[in-house]
Each structure stands twice: as C-alpha cells, then as structure tokens.
Amino acid sequence: MKLEYSIPGHLYWIKDFLPDDLYTRIHDTIIKERKNYKLSWPAYAGIYTDLIPPKTTGFTNLESVIPSLRDTWIEMKRLVNNNPYYDIKDKFISSTTIYIMEKNAGITWHTDGPDKTRGDDDPTTAKWKQTAKRGWDYAATLYLNKRWDKRWGGELMYTNHKDIRGYIPFVGNSLVLIKTPLLHKVNTVLSPVLPRLSIQMFIR
C-alpha cells in the first residue's frame, strides 16, 4: 500500500491498496460472475446527461450480492476504514456496490454530498449549502481492472472551481478516497473490449 498522490483533506490516491491475494480474489470473482449479477442504473439521472450510465449492483452491501465472499468484503472495508493516510476509522461504510461501465459510459460533474444533480454541484451557491446535509461524507472507489489501456478513458477528473483541479488515471488495485464536496466526474469509457470495473463505497 502506497500513497501515490494526495490533496490533504480532499483527495487521496493509494496504489497497491489490497494485498495481492485479496485483490485477485475480488477481481477474478467479479470478472467471472459479472454477467450473473442483477444490475440496475443509479437513480440520480442528472449526473448521466448525454452519457450511458454505469450498471451497478445497487446501493446495498456486497455481502448480500456475493455472500460467498462475505469475509472478503468485511476485510476490504476494514482496510478502507483503517488506511494509514486519512483517518476515517470512526466512519461507517453505508454502501458498497459494483460499477460496470461499458463503452460510452461516463458520469458528469457531481459531488457525493448534496443532491446528485448538476445544479447543486457548485459549493459556492446557497442551494448547495441548504442541501449539503444530505448525501455522504466520503466516497471511496477501488479500481479493479488488471489490464487497462490509457487510450480507453475512464479517468477520474476533479476540481473545486478554485485552486484544485486534476485527474487520476484508472489503475487496478488502487483506491481513490474523496472528501465531499469535491466535484468529480468519470471520463467517457472508450474501451471496445473490457468494461471499466470498480467497487464504489459511500461513507458517513
């Protein structure tokens, strides 16, 4: 586990996040069984305008989706809570879900704090301040694909409309931890072969 990049208090990108055996178990299971999952589209339609939305296992917990890996999901969440770079030990991971993003899928600018609509995403507006009590305090994304070509897109972009902006490439077995309300988006997936696979965790 290595901190590759951070903006203290806002964003942390951790490479080699899971032990190899744990990562391989999760990766291989999801690759093998992904067509068997009951998938849906997230309800927040405003953040997928003009894009194909990701398919997900829903805002539930993976212990109920893939119960055979129950101990694996518990260990994954333990490692997220106890990561050595950003103290969230006392926070509750309220949702874990698989995101499957096929060609032309993407997510436009949004935060995971207030309402998931583009009109609420500017943290300088009064409306954002009024709705900020809803949503999550943190979002963590575990990237799964072992093989991903940089030409296939799917990068995470981020900004605060002021002095913070950049992107995180899609690298397997790396974790991105974001403190809301940092704006972020997922660039359009261009892979003609492999879907972009990740596990999304929402934390309060």
Query: Into how many domains does the chain fold?
Result: 1
* 80-103 pLDDT, tens digit each: 999 999 999 999 999 999 999 999
User: What mean pLDDT is reported for the chain?
Assistant: 88
32: left (phi over 0), alpha (psi -120 to 50) or beta: alpha
Q: How far apart are CA 15 and CA 171, in angstroms?
A: 8
The CA-atom distances, in angstroms, between 1 and each of 15, 17, 23, 57, 72 are 6, 5, 12, 27, 17
CATH code: domain of residue 194 = 2.60.120.620
In the sheet that holds 55-56, the strands lie side by side as 2-7, 11-15, 175-179, 138-143, 196-203, 93-101, 55-56
Comparing CA positions, the residue from 120, 101, 96, 158 lying closest to residue 44 is: 120
Residue 113 burial (10 A CB sphere; 0-12, 13-18, 19+): buried
The two three-digit tokens of residue 84, written as one number? 């050595």
The whole-number pLDDT of residue 132 equals 43
Task: Give the DSSP H/E element, type plus range, for residue 63.
Answer: helix 62-65
Measured in whole angstroms, the distance separating CA 193 from the mean position of its chain's CA atoms is 21
pTM for the full predicted model: 0.88
Which is it for the CA torsion 98, 117, 102, 55, positive or negative? positive
Range of the domain at 56: 2-203
Residue 126 — pLDDT band, cuts 50, 70, 90?
A: very low
* 106-117 pLDDT, tens digit each: 999 988 875 544
